[in-house]
Structure 1
């Protein structure tokens, strides 16, 4: 190759080419390298190559690169960072060979800016993917961890804890709308008592909202003031929306974090959707479980719930030795009420008497509808005298007139009572007690109605 061709190759190479003395002083640099570094060619020649490196690269260059070049005569793909004339840093890869006979080191320098940027992008993508996977796993775990026994508080507490961990928040809270139109703290902790701050535009938002405490133009000045007093710099409010209705909000409180990127906000929105879906599902499960054990017309327990509750009460009564009463009630002349006022009015009578029966008993007692116009009341820790007092109260309440659209109905009930006295009576089960109470109720019917009768001791 001619000298002319050699000069062309050196000057026109698309990478940086540098020749240095064996002690690392630059003796020649091609235009590409000169252009990349921003120095003039005459400023480069005579200075050490190492002086162009940033501190981290200089340490590696002195302790590793130089030794390898001396021992092996060459190095390949060494990653370094050059400091350009303007102070900007430029990542490079270098290959070097030592020509000891000529007294030179030949260095090829490749601009690695795009490669480093690509690697960083890959690492960031991997980090985000791993973080997303971890968060998705957390969401999956928390959203499937609830069964029919879960309460709104259980769901709210779990999602508040997940939010605080996932977004590195100082605290997190789940506030849910109540029937009276107020927001109530149901899970987590709320350092601001934010539910007391009237910001309807914030609580009814449909997207994640970020509030900065130092924002002088904040649309929520009262909230921003409360945040400053609580040493909070920012908070996010994520709406909880299920079946088109606002269920509440998830609030994350930050003591140091002021910047949240789109990825953070998307994850918060996803967490809000997950919380909303979980809350809706758990509420539906509770509703279905309730319907499976309750009468749809009156809302009191059904036959299945009654029989289970009576068996449980008998077992408890046997264990404690305390008495138990079961009352069987039937509406007097209910067919005549239906015939005279219509079935809709008859349904109103059933609902009214179910409410009155429930009102006449303790909160721990169980009221149920066996079917048609028959009701049952289960009263634990109730002896004969107490059962008679309860029956008198039931009869009195049921006698009160019931107003329906087509008139006023005067209804009454006949009551039969069976009392189980552990140690005195033989062991009972639910069907036996219901049968005895039912038989006593028919004795009341035959005795003139609107009265109660005790079953004969077994």
Structure 2
């Protein structure tokens, strides 16, 4: 086996006896493995292999060699002189004339690295595809969400499936408190609130193991519920904290970057959807409510009154409509200024809402004029409501420049199904307005009726 080709071959060349004892190796093999020639020659080739490869070599490779005379592309792992593994591919052929087995050794490190890169790329592609699918699913779910509850339930459901969590909970901030809005919280009432977890700026992970030092109470609660871990993801939009997502896992304690990337993407999407839903709700509210006082505007009053007339007719129940005007409001503006006048209107709107019943609707129809729609109110009920409003509104209003004594004049229009012909909303308002002017003419700070 001497010759330039043997010494300079770009692969390992090994000759062994038919029993597998090394007879000769080329310099390339020695360079790759780090052995000296005397450390290899005379040694069973199997002793150069790791345990798994040695077993395969002795029980499979040698049998095939004796039966077929050759083997091709067998993956074995050589152990180099320094103990490091060397993945290899070998081809062997039996030379009966020489009584040897000639083996060509190729280093498979690059091939294995390439295969691992391909596998990693494939897994990354599958993960990316799965991530896109999940984001598409949640986008579809969020697209039909109209309330905070819709968003929270959709988010909790998608997160539970996406991360194979046992349970998920979406808690949103309401009046500076975190309130469960979507999903389920298995630790509810079983562990005291942890401020750090409630306000974490990034995803927090808590495990149930005894090594958990930051949140031992939560870890103990997790163990009691047979849970392995939980993650807490903040929901933030435009720098405003909206709430958190909590994922509870029965077994999982290790989380990779793809997990956090997807969790972050879902969290951002949920936060943006919550912001959109709330903005839409706010816009809808502004479209139907007075911007100064927050009560119903003319459009909402007309819609409500139209429905109230129809319901009164269908149920044969009375309906009272009150038209209210602030007495001497021009004098208040002249004496204290329009800014104070606006504050008076805001205060009176609040008092009107507290003076009517919970189901009644109060609105501002323009300027210093308000309307109250009182379904199911007959003459005595309407008179009682009006008296209560008069009393509340006549109480002094404290402003920066002093005390204002304001009052209102009220006109009441009644619709009595079965007695009166069904009116239009405009007819009821005109009659209530006329009754209000009766109150003005008779001294103000009182109520008057204008029956149909």
Pairwise TM-score range, normalised by the shorter structure = 0.7 to 0.9
Bigger shift: 325-334 or 146-155? 146-155
2:398–2:404: 8 Å Cα contact kept in structure 1?
yes
Corresponding residue of 2:364: 369
3-state SS in 2 of match to 1:322:
coil
For residues 45 and 340 of structure 2, the distance between their equivalents in structure 1, rounded to whole angstroms, comes to 107
Corresponding residue of 2:389: 394
Q: Which runs of 5+ in 1 are unaligned?
A: none
| Number of equivalenced pairs | 446
Bigger shift: 405-414 or 97-106? 97-106
Q: Aligned to 2:315, which of 309, 320, 338?
A: 320
Matches within 5 A, 1:342-421: 342-421=337-416
For residues 294 and 447 of structure 1, the distance between their equivalents in structure 2, rounded to whole angstroms, comes to 32
Deviation of 1:185 (Å): 2.1
Q: Deviations over 1:214-242 (max 9, x none)?
A: 24361222222222222222222222223
Corresponding residue of 2:40: 40
Bigger shift: 153-162 or 299-308? 153-162
Q: CA distance change for structure 1 residues 431 and 122 in 2, over 3 Å: closer, same or farther?
A: farther
2:20–2:46: 8 Å Cα contact kept in structure 1?
no
1:332–1:411: 8 Å Cα contact kept in structure 2?
yes
Corresponding residue of 1:162: 158
Q: Aligned to 1:134, which of 130, 133, 145?
A: 130
Corresponding residue of 2:306: 311
Corresponding residue of 2:435: 440
For residues 23 and 308 of structure 2, the distance between their equivalents in structure 1, rounded to whole angstroms, comes to 100
Corresponding residue of 1:268: 263
3-state SS in 1 of match to 2:423:
coil
Corresponding residue of 2:445: 450
Q: CA distance change for structure 1 residues 128 and 311 in 2, over 3 Å: closer, same or farther?
A: farther
For residues 429 and 398 of structure 2, the distance between their equivalents in structure 1, rounded to whole angstroms, comes to 31
Residue 190 of structure 2 corresponds to residue 213 of structure 1: no
Bigger shift: 8-17 or 281-290? 8-17
Corresponding residue of 2:108: 112
3-state SS in 2 of match to 1:42:
coil
Corresponding residue of 1:193: 188
For residues 139 and 129 of structure 1, the distance between their equivalents in structure 2, rounded to whole angstroms, comes to 15
Q: CA distance change for structure 1 residues 173 and 183 in 2, over 3 Å: closer, same or farther?
A: same
For residues 382 and 300 of structure 2, the distance between their equivalents in structure 1, rounded to whole angstroms, comes to 21
Deviation of 1:369 (Å): 0.7
1:54–1:83: 8 Å Cα contact kept in structure 2?
no
Residue 334 of structure 2 corresponds to residue 339 of structure 1: yes
Deviation of 1:363 (Å): 2.1
Bigger shift: 94-103 or 211-220? 94-103
1:18–1:106: 8 Å Cα contact kept in structure 2?
yes
Bigger shift: 106-115 or 325-334? 106-115
Q: Deviations over 1:417-456 (max 9, x none)?
A: 2233334433433333323322332333233322223333
Deviation of 1:372 (Å): 0.5
Please report the TM-score for the alignment, with normalisation by the length of structure 1.
0.81
Q: Deviations over 1:181-203 (max 9, x none)?
A: 43322222222237952432332
For residues 377 and 127 of structure 1, the distance between their equivalents in structure 2, rounded to whole angstroms, comes to 65
Q: Deviations over 1:23-78 (max 9, x none)?
A: 9999876555575598934344699x9x9858899999899x99xx89xx997xx5
What is the RMSD computed on CA atoms of the aligned residues? 4.0
Q: CA distance change for structure 1 residues 59 and 373 in 2, over 3 Å: closer, same or farther?
A: farther
Q: CA distance change for structure 1 residues 100 and 432 in 2, over 3 Å: closer, same or farther?
A: farther
Deviation of 1:299 (Å): 1.0
For residues 385 and 111 of structure 1, the distance between their equivalents in structure 2, rounded to whole angstroms, comes to 101
For residues 380 and 79 of structure 1, the distance between their equivalents in structure 2, rounded to whole angstroms, comes to 89
Deviation of 1:395 (Å): 1.9
For residues 155 and 56 of structure 2, the distance between their equivalents in structure 1, rounded to whole angstroms, comes to 44
Corresponding residue of 2:229: 234
2:172–2:242: 8 Å Cα contact kept in structure 1?
yes
For residues 62 and 260 of structure 1, the distance between their equivalents in structure 2, rounded to whole angstroms, comes to 44
Please report the TM-score for the alignment, with normalisation by the length of structure 2.
0.82
For residues 424 and 149 of structure 1, the distance between their equivalents in structure 2, rounded to whole angstroms, comes to 45
Deviation of 1:269 (Å): 3.1
For residues 325 and 145 of structure 2, the distance between their equivalents in structure 1, rounded to whole angstroms, comes to 33
For residues 153 and 355 of structure 2, the distance between their equivalents in structure 1, rounded to whole angstroms, comes to 37
1:233–1:255: 8 Å Cα contact kept in structure 2?
yes
Q: Aligned to 1:287, which of 272, 282, 287?
A: 282
